[in-house]
Amino acid sequence: MEPTEELHKTTYVWKEEKDFTIVIKSDGEKVILNKTDTIIWKNINDDDSVQEIFIKLSDVFTYEKLCNRLNEFVKIGIITNKDMFWGDDL
């Protein structure tokens, strides 16, 4: 991932516990995030760049580990690096 690449969540929280979070994807599928992935997911705000996310988490993750997890998030569909449109007004 490029440092300037902007990311967007494609999910919302369904259930949050101490050691995991369950999120719902736009297709209705549930995804269980472990404690580590929950930390990353919670620190992604819409339009944050990879670099902005890393700055928030640099005391916990290396840049390489963070990018590996973010790439996995894109693969399973809980974030995207594409522009997204929500709502019925399109």
* Domain CATH number, residue 28: 3.90.930.60
Task: Tell me the one-letter amino acid at 53.
Answer: I
In a domain, residue 22? The reply is yes
What's the rounded mean pLDDT across residues 7-36? 87
Give me the amino acid identity at 2: E
For the chain, the domain total comes to 1
In a domain, 13, yes or no: yes
Asked if 3 and 50 touch (Cβ cutoff 8 Å), the reply is yes
Give residue 90's pLDDT band: very low, low, confident or very high (50, 70, 90): very low
Give residue 17's domain range: 6-80
pLDDT at position 40, please?
94
Q: Where are the beta strands (DSSP E) in the chain?
A: 6-9, 11-16, 20-25, 30-34, 48-49, 79-80
Q: Quote the pLDDT of residue 83.
A: 61
Question: Per the domain annotation, does 89 fall within a domain?
Answer: no
Q: Answer whether residue 52 shows pLDDT above 90.
A: yes
Q: What is the pLDDT of residue 7?
A: 80
* Whether residue 8 has pLDDT greater than 50: yes
